[in-house]
Structure 1
Amino acid sequence: MSSLNGSTSNLTQNQNPLVADRDVRTVLSVTPCVVFLYVNGVMLFTLKKKAVFQDSSRYILFGHMLWLDTFNLLMSVVLFVIAVSRISLLKVVCVILLVAATVIYQVSILNLALMSLERYVAICFPLRHADITTFRRTHMAIGVVWMISWIKPMSELTIFYAFDSTNTQVNLLCSKTTFFRLPIYKKLDVAFACIYFVSVCFIVIFTYASIAIVAKSASGDKISAKKANKTVLLHLIQLGLGAASILVDVIFVRTDVMTFLNVMYFCFITFIIFPKCLSPLIYGLRDQAFSSLFKYYFTCAKGKIKPVFIEGHI
């Protein structure tokens, strides 16, 4: 009996550091998400307070990015907490969560291309910008992006329900590694990652180069062109972080469990949480018209006069 108690005590002592480490990581991951969910909420509220924010294609796409980043943060936190807590879910619930996370993530990548193209039209074709980027066309472009983003998850679901017989459990740990086990899923990940990221990267680089040419030319609004070029450069950095998050999972060789968990946690913070937290704040504060109104509502308008709208540039 004493030896059994001693073994139990040693097991408990060995588990305590792991549990404490897990709790610390959970707090460090969830806390910034909660803070920036509030920031995103204030930004979305600000976009509803001015008619120009709802009619301009620039602000429509910015608002779309805010919604996507908000849902991305929510889905990331939910899946992270489920994974670290080792909570078993019904298969249908897990399918809904994974499909939603995949679609939203891919829409956020493709939305970068739309935002870059909008800046390209605004700088390179300023006289036709209002005619090309109308309210209706902007929403149609967003709708097309959403339809394209459903191709990969629908392909995975078709394979899963029609051909995959490796996972017959009703309750399971909800993650892509435990849910989609066949090699075909990894091939789909690589194929669609290459298609999406190469396409978006081409668009972003093309718009960056085109705007740079305008910025160096003797005619045109050079200040606006330089601001637009910095915006497109931010899109390229975001795209690079998104590509890195996928490539790490594809090329990383799994050694021991702890090393794998440490690398995945680092990638989760660096490539998923960090960009989704900071990118809306960076874009919002770079726009003069939006930032002044955002600061007014963020501080709950305490002791401040509501700012007058002055058009700025994202």
Structure 2
Amino acid sequence: MANNSSVVTGPSIRSANYRLILVQIFVSLFLCINILLMVTFFMKEFFYTTMRYILFANTLLSDCLILVITNYLLIMSYYNLTMKMWLCLIWYLFSSVYTLVTPLTLTAMTLERYVAICIPLRHAELCSTHSTMHSILIIHGLSAVPCTVVLICFFVSASFSFYKQSRVCSVEMFIFYPWQAHFRSVINQFYFLLMCIIIILSYVKIMKVAKAASGEDKQSSRKGLRTVALHGFQLLLCLMQMWCPFIENAILQINFMLYINVRYFNYITFILAPRCLSPLIYGLRDEKFFHVLKHYALCGLHKKQDLF
């Protein structure tokens, strides 16, 4: 067994090197795009007083944080660099919370589109700036629930000396017993089911309105339908991330090389890919945002259209 491992280690590390560089390129690119979009968001008062754009900015901030955190942990893990467990605890806290902030915000954005298209007369009341701030607080509160449950179980089980140990940082460090992992899984699956139901119901309701509408209302409804569909696809990719640890742990028991390949695929597909869809949905598809973005991206050479 040891001989087989030594045979595959060389190519494995060489391959991972190229992959690590590729990940750094992707992460740097997405961070630059997201920062440009954040700057654009603050350039117009209309954006930071409108619910869907505020929620969009919340996803951008969440995406930036999760990209920085996961990339840092990826580099630490790749080079087998250790850190004190109390510091790992802080990284885990932020990683766990902001892994859920994006899918929950996408669900809130879907509900906003549902209200705008299916209950337009109450849109101004239900989707005010005040309501948006409350929504963001609720999103962060709900995102912290799974992490809080895991940490409570961890604090009860861990000895004081554990915090002084240095290890490669991983979420598995905070799970001592199988029931803790099962409990976390149950909470994640509940979130998964709840968000999927909201997305599907919103899509069906908007579809009914789109069929019944005519003229400009029909065009607006169809655009809302496409937006919800994109949110659903992005949400699916984000939620699949919750299944990744279970899949990876199962594969690790079978074949280490396959584990490395699957883990890399999961990181690209379920962590990086969903983070590049937000700029597509609101950065490029939204007419108002796109023209302001184009104006500032081209340093004012592109004439802004009067869309406000």
Per the normalisation by structure 1, the TM-score is 0.89
1:138 aligns with 2:137: no
Q: 2:26 corresponds to which residue?
A: 32
Identity %: 33
Q: 1:77 corresponds to which residue?
A: 71
Shift of 1:188: 2.5
CA distance in 2, matches of 1:225, 1:277: 25
Q: 1:246 corresponds to which residue?
A: 242
Q: 2:179 corresponds to which residue?
A: 184
Shift of 1:14: 6.5
> Where do residues 8-27 of structure 1 align in structure 2 (5 Å cutoff)?
15-27=9-21
Shift of 1:36: 1.2
Query: Structure 2 counterpart of 1:295, which letter?
Result: K
CA distance in 2, matches of 1:222, 1:35: 36
Whichever of the two has the greater Rg, that structure is 1
Q: 2:222 corresponds to which residue?
A: 226
* Alignment RMSD (CA, Å): 2.0
> Where do residues 1-314 of structure 1 align in structure 2 (5 Å cutoff)?
15-164=9-158, 168=162, 170-219=165-214, 221-251=217-247, 253-254=250-251, 255-301=254-300, 304-310=301-307
- Indicate how the Cα distance of structure 1 residues 29 and 147 shifts in structure 2: closer, same or farther if over 3 A, else same: same
Shift of 1:240: 1.5
Shift of 1:78: 1.1
**What residue ranges of structure 2 are gaps of 5+ in the alignment?**
1-5
- Indicate how the Cα distance of structure 1 residues 113 and 265 shifts in structure 2: closer, same or farther if over 3 A, else same: same
Query: Structure 1 counterpart of 2:188, which letter?
Result: A
CA distance in 1, matches of 2:206, 2:151: 41
What SS does the aligned partner of 1:227 have?
Answer: helix
Shift of 1:278: 3.1
- Indicate how the Cα distance of structure 1 residues 225 and 155 shifts in structure 2: closer, same or farther if over 3 A, else same: same
Equivalent pair of 1:293/1:306 in contact (CA under 8 Å): no
Equivalent pair of 2:59/2:101 in contact (CA under 8 Å): no
CA distance in 2, matches of 1:221, 1:305: 30
Equivalent pair of 1:72/1:276 in contact (CA under 8 Å): no
Shift of 1:75: 1.4
What SS does the aligned partner of 1:148 have?
Answer: helix
Equivalent pair of 1:33/1:277 in contact (CA under 8 Å): no
CA distance in 2, matches of 1:44, 1:309: 21
Q: 2:3 corresponds to which residue?
A: none
Q: How many residues align?
A: 298
**What residue ranges of structure 1 are gaps of 5+ in the alignment?**
1-10
- Indicate how the Cα distance of structure 1 residues 27 and 251 shifts in structure 2: closer, same or farther if over 3 A, else same: closer
Higher mean displacement: 222-231 or 186-195: 186-195
The superposition leaves residues 28-65 of structure 1 with CA deviations (integer Å, 9 ceiling, x where unpaired) of: 11111101101100100001011100101111111111
Higher mean displacement: 114-123 or 141-150: 141-150
